[in-house]
């Protein structure tokens, strides 16, 4: 398989490039894919950036179509009761989480 490196043109116009990203969710261990547009948005968000790891870039013009993949081993994930389910923000206490949800996710 050919390893694809994204170009500056891909970064400027990710919706036109057709490139997608295989990524690993570090919390759950799942491997999945998303369009390059979504990946670049995650990389700009400091709260979500550290929760995902890049596996590889794929350009369907050079390789096969994306496949949904799941890791064979499913580690037990302990839910954090102070983590916002919408964006991953981790609060100090219940009040902080409530304030976050009411101000950031109206």
My answer on whether 59 and 11 are in the same domain is yes
Which structural domain range is residue 100 located in?
A: 78-106
Residues 65-104 have pLDDT tens digits of 545 555 555 566 677 788 887 777 888 898 988 898 888 8
Give whole-number Cα distances, 17 to 52, 59, 63, in Å: 22, 8, 14
Are residues 83 and 64 part of one domain?
no
Residues 6+ positions from 83 with CB-CB distance below 8 Å:
89, 90, 91
pLDDT digits (tens, 9 = 90+) for 3-25: 667 778 887 887 777 888 888 98
Same domain, 36 and 82: no
Same domain, 2 and 16: yes
Q: Cα(71)–Cα(78) distance, rounded to whole angstroms? A: 18
What is the tens place of the pLDDT at every residue in 28-61?
A: 888 888 888 888 899 898 888 889 998 888 877 7
pTM: 0.51
Whether residues 26 and 68 fall in one domain:
yes
Residues 85 and 68 in one domain: no
């Amino acid at each position: 398989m050919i390893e694809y490196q994204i170009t500056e043109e891909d970064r400027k116009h990710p919706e036109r490039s057709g490139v997608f990203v295989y990524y690993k969710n570090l919390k759950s261990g799942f491997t999945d894919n998303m369009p390059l547009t979504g990946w670049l948005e995650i990389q700009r968000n400091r709260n979500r950036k550290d929760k995902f790891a890049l596996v590889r870039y794929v350009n369907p013009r050079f390789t096969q179509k994306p496949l949904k993949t799941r890791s064979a081993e499913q580690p037990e994930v302990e839910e954090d009761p102070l983590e916002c389910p919408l964006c991953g923000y981790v609060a100090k206490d219940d009040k902080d989480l409530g304030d976050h949800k009411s101000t950031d996710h109206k």
